[in-house]
Amino acid sequence: MTALISINQDGCFSAVPDDPAIEHVLHVSDAASHDQIILLLDQRAVRLKVDGFSDGRGFSVARQLRLHGFTGVIEVIGDLLPDQLPMAVAAGVDAIFIRAEHAERCAEAQWRQMSADKYRFGYQRSVTER
């Protein structure tokens, strides 16, 4: 398994120990429907795998989980970019896991800078909230 770096909501890096449980990751395409999301609500933690920074489904699934009352830990695994951290936090993601090689290109300082700008991103209100 490739070494992973965990990034918390403040943009701080930490190593992810080799954990066999990390292998049991749900790809976001496997949690795309309402029924599949409901099945996750009784889990302590949900690890969502995305294909890369252009795959926004991880944020959508995280948001849907939170809207349905999920209180556990949500982790997104995939090579996201620092400017996506505020969006991840707003969606309810607790941690992002990226490959160590990707972390060399996207330094911790960039992630921390993005975490300082917590109000940079916000979901648009729904039609019923207007």
User: Stretch 55-84: mean pLDDT, rounded?
Assistant: 93
Look up the pTM and report it.
0.83
Which tens digits make up the pLDDT trace of 69-78? Answer: 999 999 999 9
Scored b (16 or more CB within 10 A) or e, 5-32 reads: bbbeeebebeebeeeeeeeebbbbeebe
Q: Which residue has the higher pLDDT, 6 or 118?
A: 6
Q: What is the per-residue pLDDT for 104?
A: 93
The pLDDT tens digits of the residues spanning 8-30 come to 999 999 988 766 556 568 888 88
